[in-house]
Amino acid sequence: MTHIVTAKKMELHVGSGDDGALNAAVFGSGLYVLSGCAATVVSANKVTIAGGEILMHGRHIRVGASGESVAIDNGAQARKRHDLIGILYRRDAANQDIEDAPLHVLKGAAVPDSPADPAYNASASILKGDAEVFRPLYRVPIDGLSVGAPVPLYGTLGSLSEAFADLAGKADKAHKHPVSDMTGGALPISLGGTGATSAAGARNALGLGNTAGALPVANGGTGVTTDAAIALKSYPVGALYVSFSATSPASLFGGTWAQITGRFLRAASGTGTGGSDTCTLTSGQMPNHHHGVISERDGDWMGLWQSNVSEGGLWWVVSNSTPGANKGIKTTSVGSDSSHNNMPAYQDVYVWRRTA
């Protein structure tokens, strides 16, 4: 349910969870040392945490100014172990949700070598309402009977005054580079430059190689130095270049190209060619048909008829005069023996294939 926290009401309505949630939203939801809390090994079985301020899941935890000591178990010969010193948050649900967060030690397992940190529930969170949450401040390495220097495991948050002072030093409006810093065009690396006086030197300083204008393939570039060479990368060997201009791509981009002329392009599984602009039909392509025969020409007539005698023989006419020259009979001549165009509507373009 949504409710206003910073408000006057006729009841107690602001709790530690409200302040904790606000702090976590502003400063972060982890474990942070705001100040102090240095760890000191006092003896083989005692470590002292100095006074300081801690923020854990938004909850403000204070170690008193005089510091606080925690006990650790003695080590053992030929054994190593890691102990963790941290904050153990507890909420007593059976006692009106009373909360506390004392320093606590988790003892690790003693092993011959390569000790591990003791396990704890790293997913538990005060912000999620868990009743018991542990977070480590220090790892204490123990080798045999010796206690090593505690290793910090927390984050830190400086004060706002420290942050403002740091920003003020970085945002100096009067900041200038002396001429000596830029002699010959070289801005030192320590001041944000490359320390080089030439493009090639700058590229070397940036780890990009010294070929002017060429960004290596390994660095996400093309490895070439000119627009033409970059364009040629788009046409690997075997690629086609199509244009309405008769200018060869070899003169535009370089490379070796073979021009394709007088051919339609057809998608296929191989590189076969074929076809023709025109096609002449032969009798094999003609449709099955017949022509009528004219029986009279220039007054000459030819004909046959069947008699009505019982034999049904054929009669023919014989002239008493000398026959004229024999004449063959031809059907009417048609056609011009020309080829026909076999192409669809088209637009001429210039095509080259890259060969090398």
What are 229-278's pLDDT values in tens digits? Answer: 778 888 999 999 999 999 999 999 899 999 999 888 877 666 667 777 77
pTM of the model: 0.50
Distance between CA 257 and CA 249 in Å, rounded? 7
Q: Which of 53-57, 110-114, 265-269 has the lowest mean pLDDT?
A: 265-269
Within 13 Å of residue 215, how many CA atoms lie on the same side as its CB?
Answer: 7
On whether the CB atoms of residues 116 and 84 are closer than 8 A, the answer is no
Q: What is the mean pLDDT of residues 328-353?
A: 77
Q: How far is 15 from 17, CA to CA, in rounded Å?
A: 5
**Region at 335 (left for phi over 0; alpha for psi -120 to 50; beta for the rest):** left
Beta-bridge partners for 77: none
pLDDT at 324: 57
Q: What's the average model confidence in pLDDT over 58-64? A: 96
pLDDT-derived band at 182 (thresholds 50, 70, 90) equals low
The 3-state DSSP class for residue 189 equals helix
pLDDT band at 337 (very low <50, low <70, confident <90, very high): confident
> Which of the four pLDDT bands, split at 50, 70 and 90, describes residue 331?
low
Q: Give residue 60's pLDDT band: very low, low, confident or very high (50, 70, 90).
A: very high
Contact in structure between 87 and 135 (CB atoms under 8 Å): yes
CB-based contact 243:350 (threshold 8 Å): yes
Cα–Cα distances in angstroms (integers) from residue 139 to residues 13, 108, 135, 148, 149, in the given order: 39, 10, 11, 9, 9
Residue 260, token pair as written in the block: 């394709």
Q: What is the mean pLDDT of residues 173-192?
A: 62
Q: What is the pLDDT of residue 142?
A: 97
pLDDT at 194 over 80: no
Catalogue all structural domains in the chain, each as residue range(s) with its CATH number. 16-161 (2.60.520.10), 213-263+346-355 (no CATH)
Alpha carbons 261 and 352: distance in angstroms, whole number: 9
With H, G, I as helix, E, B as strand and everything else as coil, classify residue 71: strand
Which of 5-9, 16-20, 168-172, 292-296 has the largest mean confidence? 16-20
Distance from C-alpha of 241 to C-alpha of 352, rounded to nearest angstrom: 5
Nearest-angstrom CA–CA distance, 60 and 231: 63
Check residue 342 and give its pLDDT.
74
Percent of the chain at pLDDT exceeding 70:
70
Per-residue confidence (pLDDT) for residue 72, from 0 to 100 = 96
pLDDT tens across 74-107, in order?
999 999 999 999 999 999 999 999 999 999 999 9
